[in-house]
Amino acid sequence: MTSRSAEFAGPPTFRFFVYGTLKRGECRASLWPRLPQDVRPAFVRGRLFDLGPYPALWCGDADAEVGTDWDWVEGEVWTIAADDMEATVRRLDEIEATDQPGCENEYDRILVRAYESPGSDASVLAFAYQYSTGQQLPDSIRVSAWGEHQVARWPARE
């Protein structure tokens, strides 16, 4: 393992993979309750859908479903201090309509493997918010992947 890979390794409970409105420069970036220790580009295997004002990620079980057409979904890994984790989870769950009293989840908080770059061995486990009924989303709103590594990004590449 190179030193660069070692820098990207670490405990899963301190990280979030975000791919839409919570990324730097997007409309909800200011809603994070605590400042991150670090923010890095990252990629997960999955499918990305454009719901209009925000995207939806569907990872299913990308490792188990060999032969399916998974893309590399581009986003960011935000590293959060352990002392800030509870407040961060509580706030992000509110934003993503996850585990809110009396409501069905719009998104589920899951663990994903986030890679430093498409095809890289350097990865971390991170929380991500997956659309609860993502397996039912139509291909007509799937974000088209592009380039050598088939990368999908939201907002979609122009």
148, part of any domain = yes
pLDDT band at residue 60 using 50, 70 and 90 as cut-offs: confident
**Structural domain includes residue 115:** yes
Q: d(Cα 11, Cα 89) in Å, to the nearest integer?
A: 16
Domain range for 50 = 3-152
What pLDDT digit, counting tens, does each position of 18-57 carry? 999 999 999 999 999 999 999 999 999 999 999 999 999 9
What confidence tens digit (pLDDT) does each residue in 114-157 have?
A: 999 998 999 999 999 999 999 999 999 999 999 999 999 999 76
CATH classification of the domain holding 99: 3.10.490.10
Task: Round to the nearest angstrom and report the end-to-end CA distance of the chain.
Answer: 36
Please report whether residue 157 resides in a domain: no
Number of independent structural domains in the chain: 1
Residue of 129, 143, 121 lying closest to 69 (CA atoms): 143
Tell me whether residue 95 is in a domain: yes
- Residue 20 within any structural domain of the chain: yes
Evaluate whether residue 36 is within a structural domain. Answer: yes
Domain assignment present for residue 134? The answer is yes
Mean pLDDT over the full length of the chain? 88
38 in a structural domain: yes
Q: Using CA atoms, how far apart are residues 42 and 119, in angstroms rounded to an integer?
A: 11
